[in-house]
Amino acid sequence: MKIGFIGLGIMGKPMAKNLIKAGHDLIVFDVIKENVDDVVVAGAKSAASSKQVAQECKLIITMLPNSPHVKTVIMGENGILEGASEETIVVDMSSIAPSASQEMEKSCAEKGVKLIDAPVSGGEPKAIDGSLSIMVGGDKAVFDEVYDILMVMGASAVHCGDIGAGNTTKLANQVIVALNIAAVSEAFMLSTKAGVDPIKVFDAIKGGLAGSTVMNAKIPMITEGNFKPGFKIDLHIKDLNNALETGHTVGAPLPLTATVLEMLQMLHADGFGQYDHSGIAKYYEKLTGTEIRK
């Protein structure tokens, strides 16, 4: 199947490559030429604009940093809507504000284009091995139509409700992940300052109620001092800002989210915005002057 793919960053690039490995013909576009060249080497064809991608493909996947980027790609000059025809399907796999998904879906519908939101969880490792968790909002019939394509990139794809429901689910996910990393960092700083080996603490508690996928993924990174980004602090700041905005809109209190967001903002100000979000541990390391290391 011919598929358009727009946005070839840390997540988009391996997702696109998995579609190529599965035998699909990809037409790709990104503003960073090196990213396009890498995917072209893997077997894709490049396009000069989002409009050209839409002119050549009936199914288009977008994977972009935030709401303004997606709006530009879909509704802007030389964007998807300028090149799309009726019955084109756009699967936006970016993590953005639910209200932005709803706004864009209305604009797409006016031209007969179908849009669903389908953000993902799992970070770069799961993007590479094709085991992402995919959360989808929008027309269930469109979800059913693209389900097999989604499952090339993910281990699960769940229809969560109407347009925007996928991104609402993703925001809930990101709140849990951020607070979990903060809790893990706080707890392991406690054990480190008390003189207990963090690896022994990890081995002792990972099989109990405190154990989590987040702890299993992030404690090895923290204790090795490896903050190579699978998901960057700056992107988590974006997600938590979207969560707070959505919470304010619907009347959901998010005091813990606001606290962790301030921690992330401080890390950004200290130059750690491009670190993996496991770098929340560095907030505690700065406060104590102590590193959590094995």
Catalytically annotated residues: 170
Closest CA to 61 of 30, 32, 40: 30
Contact in structure between 93 and 118 (CB atoms under 8 Å): yes
Residue 40 near residue 17, CB atoms below 8 Å: no
Beta strand residue intervals within 122-206, DSSP E: 132-137, 154-161
Contact 65, 72 (CB under 8 A): no
**Which of 124, 86, 289 lies closest to 217, judged by CA?**
124
| Phi/psi at 111 (5° precision) | -105, 10
- Kindly report the CA angle at 283 between 279 and 285, in degrees rounded to 5? 95
Going 259 to 261 to 262 to 267, the CA torsion angle's sign is: positive
Task: Answer yes or no: are the C-beta atoms of 158 and 136 closer than 8 Å.
Answer: yes
Report the distance separating Cα 193 and Cα 291, nearest Å. Answer: 9
